[in-house]
Amino acid sequence: MRYAVLGGGKRLRPLLVWHACAAACDRPKVCLPAAAAIEYIHAFSLVHDDLPAMDDDDLRRGQPTLHIHTSEAMAILAGDALLNLAFAALTRVNIDPAHCLRLVEELTAGCAGMISGQIFDSLPKADPAIEDRDRLERIHRNKTGALIRAACRIGAICGGASADTLSALTTYANDIGLMFQAVDDLIDVEQLAEHTGKRTGKDADAGKLTYPGLLGVEGTKAEIARLQAEAVAAVEPMGPKADPLVAIANLLATRDR
Amino acid sequence: MRYAVLGGGKRLRPLLVWHACAAACDRPKVCLPAAAAIEYIHAFSLVHDDLPAMDDDDLRRGQPTLHIHTSEAMAILAGDALLNLAFAALTRVNIDPAHCLRLVEELTAGCAGMISGQIFDSLPKADPAIEDRDRLERIHRNKTGALIRAACRIGAICGGASADTLSALTTYANDIGLMFQAVDDLIDVEQLAEHTGKRTGKDADAGKLTYPGLLGVEGTKAEIARLQAEAVAAVEPMGPKADPLVAIANLLATRDR
C-alpha cells in the first residue's frame, strides 16, 4: 500500500481537495484526511488498472507496477485495502458528522463513477444509438471526471461551502476533468507524431475513442481552450482565494506530459 | 454485481446484523441498508478470493465463479464496485449521522481485518516467535472473524445499543467467528475422511494451519463446544430478544455443511 501511494505522481486530486477547501474557508487543514482518501482511491484504481487482466502494465512512473514488485494476489489485496482505507480516512475528518457523512456519499459516487467509466470503456459499443461524441464524454465524465469532481466537492464540503460555491466548484471540476482527458489524448498523438512520424497514438491504434480521433488535433485544442475558459470563469468570482484553482486549470490546459 | 450478490449463500452476516439490531431495539428494519452493506462486502471478498491470482476457483455454490461467468477484468471491477457500494448503502441507514459515521468506521475495521487476515494467511510464517495456536487464531479472528464482528456491532449500533449490549454482542461475535472457522475445518476433515478414507482435508494438505491439525478432531470439537457456550452465555442475559442469536450460535456449532 505504501509502494502504491508513496511512489510519486502529481498529487493533483489531493491538491484539488485542498484548494477547493481553501476557496471555501480559512482553515483548509481540516480537509487533509479527505485529501489522503482521494489519493488512496486514485492509487487503488491505478494498482487494479495495471493488473494483467486489465491493462497489463509492467511500469508506472518509471517503476515496476505493484503486481510486478510483489505479486498479483498482493496487488489485488493492496488495492482492495486502499479503497477501504479511503473510507476509514474520511471518518477522521474533524467536521460535523452530518457533513462527514456527505463526504462518504461523495466518495462513493466518485468511485462508482470511475468504475462505471472503466466498464463502459471496456465494453463493445453498448448502445449504437449513442453518438461517438456523447459516448466519449460519458466515458471521460466518469472514468477520469468522477474522482476529480469528488475531490473538488469533498474539499468544498470540508470547508463548509455554500450551495453556490459548491455548484461553482462542481462546474470547475467537470470542465477540468474533461480537459484533463482531452490534453492526455493530445499528448499521446503529438508525442507519437514527434517520435515516429505517425499521426495516431496507442489509444487510436487500439480503436478507442479519443478527442483527436473525433475532433482532429485543432478541434481538440479548441475544445481544451473552451473548457479551460469555462473552468476559470466558474471560480474567478470567488476572488483571490480561487487563484490556485485558476492556476491549476491553466497548468492542466498547457501541460505537455 | 447482481450475479455475485444474488447467487445464494446462507446470508449469515446480514442475519447477524438484523438479530443484533433486534436484540437492541424494537425497530430492526432500520438496519436493512447496513445488512445489505455487510453482504456486499462478503460478496466482494468471495469474488476477489476466487480470482486466478488468488484461490483460482471455478465454482462457487455450484455455479461458475464470476470471472468464469464474465471475465477476470469484470470480476475485479465488480468486486471493487461492491466494496464501494457497501459504503454507499451505509450512508442510507436512517439513524443519527454521528452513529451512521460509526457504522462506516466499523465496516472499514471489519474489511481491513478481513484483508489483513487474508494477507497473513498467504504469507510464509512471518514471525517464528508466534506459536501456531496464536497464529491460527490471529488469522481467523481477522479473516473470518472481523466481518462477523462488524456485522454484530453494526446491527447493535443501528439499534442504539448501550455500551454493555455492544460489548456482549462483540463477545458473542468473537466466539461465533472462531467457531465458524473451527467447524469449517472439521467439516473439511470429516467429509474427506468419509469420501476418501483420508484423515486430512485440502487445507491440511496445502500445509495451512487448521484446528484439527493443531488440536486433533476431538480437541476441535471441545473447542467448538467451549466457544458455543461462551457465545450463548454472552447474549442470554438479554432475554427472549436474543433467542435468535442463541439459535444461530447453536446452528453454527452443529452444521455439517
C-alpha cell at B114: 478481513
Quote the minimal CA–CA distance from A216 to chain B in Å: 31
* Contact between residue A73 and residue A115 where contact means Cβ atoms under 8 Å apart: no
B80, B90, B107 ranked by CB distance to A115: nearest: B80
pLDDT tens-place string over residues A106-147 = 999 999 999 999 888 877 665 666 778 888 888 888 989 999
CB atoms B85 and A77 under 8 Å: no
Contacts of A74 in chain B (CB under 8 A): 119, 122
d(CA A110, CA A87): 12
d(CA A50, CA A42): 12
CB atoms B80 and A53 under 8 Å: no
C-alpha cell at A232: 476559470
Whether the complex's predicted ipTM is more than 0.85 is answered with yes
- Name the fold adopted by B2-251: Farnesyl Diphosphate Synthase (1.10.600)
pTM recorded for the entire structure: 0.93
Closest CA to A102 of A59, A158, A164: A158
CATH architecture for residues A2-254? Orthogonal Bundle (1.10)
- Which helix (H) or strand (E) segment holds residue A60: the answer is strand A59-60
Contacts of B79 in chain A (CB under 8 A): 80
C-alpha cell at B71: 471475465
- Residues composing chain A: 257
Output the CA–CA distances (angstroms, integers) from residue A151 to A41, A133, B236, in the order listed: 11, 25, 47
Each residue's pLDDT, cut to its tens digit, for chain B (257 residues) gives 999 999 888 999 999 999 999 999 999 999 999 999 999 999 999 999 999 999 999 999 889 999 999 999 999 999 999 999 999 999 999 999 999 999 999 999 999 999 999 888 877 665 666 778 888 888 888 989 999 999 999 999 999 999 999 999 999 999 999 999 999 999 988 876 666 544 444 554 556 788 998 999 999 999 999 999 999 999 999 999 999 999 999 999 998 87
* Contact between residue A42 and residue A50 where contact means Cβ atoms under 8 Å apart: no
Which pLDDT belongs to residue B128?
A: 65
CB atoms B80 and A83 under 8 Å: yes
End-to-end CA distance of chain B: 26
The lowest-confidence range among A42-46, A67-71, A207-211, B233-237 is A207-211
Cell 468486486 sits on residue: B79
The three-point CA angle A18-A167-B95 to 5° equals: 80
Which pLDDT belongs to residue B198?
A: 42
* Contact between residue B242 and residue B9 where contact means Cβ atoms under 8 Å apart: no
d(CA A31, CA A5): 18
Q: Which amino acid is at A182?
A: A
Task: Please count the residue pairs, one from chain A and one from chain B, whose beta carbons lie less than 8 angstroms apart.
Answer: 106
Quote the minimal CA–CA distance from B50 to chain A in Å: 11
Rg of chain A on CA atoms, in Å? 18
DSSP three-state, residue B63: strand
CB atoms B76 and A72 under 8 Å: no
d(CA A173, CA A146): 9
Quote the minimal CA–CA distance from A144 to chain B in Å: 16
C-alpha cell at B235: 447474549
Contacts of A53 in chain B (CB under 8 A): 71-73, 76
Quote the minimal CA–CA distance from B227 to chain A in Å: 30
The whole-angstrom distance between residue A198's C-alpha and the CA centroid of its chain comes to: 28
- A225: Cα within 13 Å, side-chain hemisphere: 6
Quote the minimal CA–CA distance from A235 to chain B in Å: 29
Give start and end residues of each alpha helix (H) in B50-94: 66-69, 72-90
Which pLDDT belongs to residue A203?
A: 56
d(CA B97, CA B90): 11
Q: Which amino acid is at B203?
A: D
Q: What is the torsional sign of CA B119, A119, A146, A42?
A: positive
CB atoms B85 and A108 under 8 Å: yes
Residue ranges of E strands in A53-201: 59-60, 63-64
Contacts of A87 in chain B (CB under 8 A): 87, 104, 107-108
The whole-angstrom distance between residue A121's C-alpha and the CA centroid of its chain comes to: 15
Contacts of B84 in chain A (CB under 8 A): 83, 108, 111-112, 115
Query: Average pLDDT in the A6-30 region?
Result: 95
* Contact between residue B111 and residue B105 where contact means Cβ atoms under 8 Å apart: no
B48, B83, B85 ranked by CB distance to A84: nearest: B83
C-alpha cell at A192: 507519437
Strand partners, B60: B63
CB atoms A44 and B80 under 8 Å: yes
Residues from B in contact with A at Cβ < 8 Å: 44, 48, 51, 53-54, 71-74, 76-77, 79-81, 83-85, 87-88, 90-91, 96-98, 100-101, 104-105, 107-109, 111-112, 115-116, 118-119, 122
Contacts of A44 in chain B (CB under 8 A): 80
